[in-house]
Amino acid sequence: MKEAWIMVTTISLRRQVGVIAAFAYILGLTALCWAGSPAGVPALDAFSQNKRLGKGVNVLSSDPIWRDRQKARFQEKHFRLIKEASFDHIRVNLHPFRNTGMGADYKIRAEWFETLDWIVQQALANRLIAILDLHEFREMGRDPEGNRERFLAAWQQIAERYQKASDDVFFEILNEPSEKLTSELWNVLLREALDKTRLSNPRRTVIVGPTSYNKIKDLDQLSLPDEDRNLIVTVHYYNPFPFTHQGAYWTSLKDKTGVLWNGTPKEQQAIINDFDKAQAWCQKHRRPLYLGEFGAYDKAETDSRVRWTSFVVQQARQRDWSWAWWQFDSDFILYDMQQDHWVEPIRAALMQ
């Protein structure tokens, strides 16, 4: 009888240990799933999110849609065309500071938000990820301290507006911090903006980049909160500048054209060196990288633009970077709005 009692007790203990072990295993999985989440909600994996971003294009930077929906160049059909061309996302360039988007009280107008709502809805309906990119880099660069409250107010409102949106909506804190917005100031300001967004969007994937117009050389000066792992780092690439911006009216190269990019070993190696530097930084800091802008201006020779574009895309792909071409229309164009068709050599170079 004693032996039977010992056997029953042993079996019972084993079952209890098994239950405890299983419970501990479940707790472990839960802890892994919730690790790195700023507000204690299941975290997204930034590397997986970056892979989903894949191939993209910048849209709506200078479209009159923000002033008057009836005058919009970008129409519903363009979302479908972008998806059919095998793009995975759009980077929506937002300018709430201008076009009376924000009032004196820093409140974003209802009409502005209604336009953005339509853009986000159309993107998601066409299975495109939408990056909401605050593109007010000029105002922030000229007077970062004077625009601080307006900047933070914009993010608080945008974040609250889209706090229930799907994980296919990403936030980008600020396009190309530059000029008076130094690395020291930017590292403080980006944390303040992150705090604003995380209050209502603790699991939202957020994109942030370095100063000097998101140049690779400033990555070493970028400081991110280590506890927030749902961040994607972005850089922009327009090297060699005399080639990519030849004839651009807003630069000192406005009267210079005829610069070629032949894809010589020396020309290719310059891009490889730049990209290797960015890749080394990302590996050191365990962050995924998004090439948020790259392009060659329309005044450059088409064959050179195609060679340069193809090589940049190839190098990005080899490093598992996501990317977005600058831009859909206006300048550096990928789509000819007047003729209503793709600029086929560039589209083909991107989708090689």
195, 324: one domain: yes
pLDDT digits (tens, 9 = 90+) for 214-264: 999 999 999 999 999 999 999 999 999 999 999 999 999 999 999 999 999
Closest among 329, 56, 333, 314 to 168, alpha carbons compared = 56
Q: Which helix (H) or strand (E) holds 289?
A: strand 289-294
129, 275: one domain: yes
Ranges of H-type helices in the chain: 2-34, 46-53, 76-84, 110-125, 137-142, 148-161, 183-200, 211-214, 241-244, 265-285, 302-318, 344-350
**Which residue has 């598992």 as its token pair?**
320
pLDDT digits (tens, 9 = 90+) for 164-206: 999 999 999 999 999 999 999 999 999 999 999 999 999 999 9
Give the pLDDT score at 40.
55
20, 125: one domain: no
Q: Which helix (H) or strand (E) holds 233?
A: strand 231-237
201, 277: one domain: yes
28, 43: one domain: no
Greater confidence (103 vs 137) lies with 137
Q: What residue numbers bound the domain in which 7 lies?
A: 1-34
Give me the number of domains the chain comprises. Answer: 2
Token couple for 308: 């340069």
207, 339: one domain: yes
Token couple for 166: 């799907």
Integer angstrom CA distances of residue 168 from 41, 88, 171, 190, 256: 17, 10, 10, 22, 41
List the CATH number of the domain containing 163.
Answer: 3.20.20.80
At residue 336, what is the residue type? D
pLDDT digits (tens, 9 = 90+) for 268-294: 999 999 999 999 999 999 999 999 999
22, 92: one domain: no
19, 95: one domain: no
- Confidence band, pLDDT 50/70/90 cuts, at residue 104: confident
Greater confidence (41 vs 296) lies with 296
261, 332: one domain: yes
Give the pLDDT score at 244.
98
